[in-house]
């Protein structure tokens, strides 16, 4: 089973071109649900996440 580290996910998220809130300070990511769709090489995992911002919004 593939494990997702929330700290690494936060750093990865802000580097993605489709992430629309690059100008806001991201304080963290909450993993709401993680579903492994395929094990093996390469694994395929779907993660539902909530981005939290320093201003207290999400």
| Rounded CA separation 58/32 (Å) | 13
Residue 37 — φ and ψ, nearest 5°? -90, -30
Residue with tokens 């580097």, as numbered in its chain: 15
Q: Give pLDDT, residue 10.
A: 80
> What element of type H or E holds 1?
none
Contacts of 45 (CB under 8 A, 6+ apart): 2, 4, 34, 35, 36, 37
Task: Report residue 1's pLDDT band, with 50, 70 and 90 as the boundaries.
Answer: low
Q: Give pLDDT, residue 6.
A: 74
> What element of type H or E holds 7?
helix 6-14
For residue range 18-27, list pLDDT tens digits in order. Answer: 888 777 878 8
Task: Report residue 53's pLDDT band, with 50, 70 and 90 as the boundaries.
Answer: confident
Domains of the chain, residue spans: 6-17+24-53
């Amino acid at each position: 089973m593939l494990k997702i580290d929330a700290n690494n996910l936060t750093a990865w998220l802000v580097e993605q071109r489709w992430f629309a809130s690059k100008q806001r300070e991201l304080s963290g990511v909450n993993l709401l649900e993680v579903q492994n769709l395929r094990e093996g090489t390469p694994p395929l995992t779907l993660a539902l996440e909530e981005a939290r911002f320093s201003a207290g919004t999400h």
